[in-house]
Structures are given as C-alpha cells and as structure tokens.
C-alpha cells in the first residue's frame, strides 16, 4: 500500500470519528420526562395536609391544636398511656 493511500485511510477514519463525536454531542432528541419528586410519590397523608393548612392560619383553631398534638405524639413516639 502506498504512503498516500495510508494517509487517505487515516484521514477518512478520522473524519468518520469526528462526525460521530459531533453527532453525539449535538443530539437533538427531546429529554425524557422529569422524574417525579418524592412528595409526588408519597401517599397522601391527611395529617400532613391538615398541618399545612394550619401553618397558614393566624387565629387559634381546635382542629389545628388536635393535629399538632397528634404530630407531637407521632414524633415523640408516645402511646396513649401518657402519665
């Protein structure tokens, strides 16, 4: 094989490699849908919804007091047999 043919072959291989790299870098496919957040995957928690509602209130509410007490009970791990 002549020297010119070898140079042409290397140039052709380099061109194909460069075209492949450019094609991969300029991929115009649309991105997949974003992953859902953990809040969207978690089951609905009525206590959490009630606490979120209570955070917006500026006046005392008996339902909120009960919700906060239940939240404290769950957080602290207290049972119904409180001293």
- Local confidence band at 38 (pLDDT 50, 70, 90 cut-offs): confident
Total-model pTM: 0.43
- Where do the structural domains in the chain lie, given as residue ranges? 1-30, 33-83
The predicted-structure confidence for 52-75, as pLDDT tens digits, reads as follows 999 998 888 899 999 999 999 999
Cα dihedral 40/41/46/50 (nearest 10): -30
The predicted-structure confidence for 21-35, as pLDDT tens digits, reads as follows 888 887 777 777 888
The answer to whether residue 82 scores a pLDDT higher than 70 is: no
The better pLDDT of the pair 15, 1 is held by 15
Return all residues near 51 (Cβ < 8 A) that are at least 6 apart: 64, 67, 68, 71
């Amino acid at each position: 094989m002549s020297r010119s043919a070898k140079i042409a072959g290397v140039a052709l291989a380099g061109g194909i490699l460069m075209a492949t790299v450019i094609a991969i870098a300029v991929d115009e496919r649309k991105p997949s849908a974003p992953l859902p957040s953990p809040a969207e995957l978690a089951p609905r928690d009525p206590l959490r919804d009630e606490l979120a509602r209570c955070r917006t209130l500026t006046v005392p509410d008996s339902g909120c007091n009960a919700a906060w007490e239940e939240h404290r009970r769950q957080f602290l791990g207290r049972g119904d047999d409180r001293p």
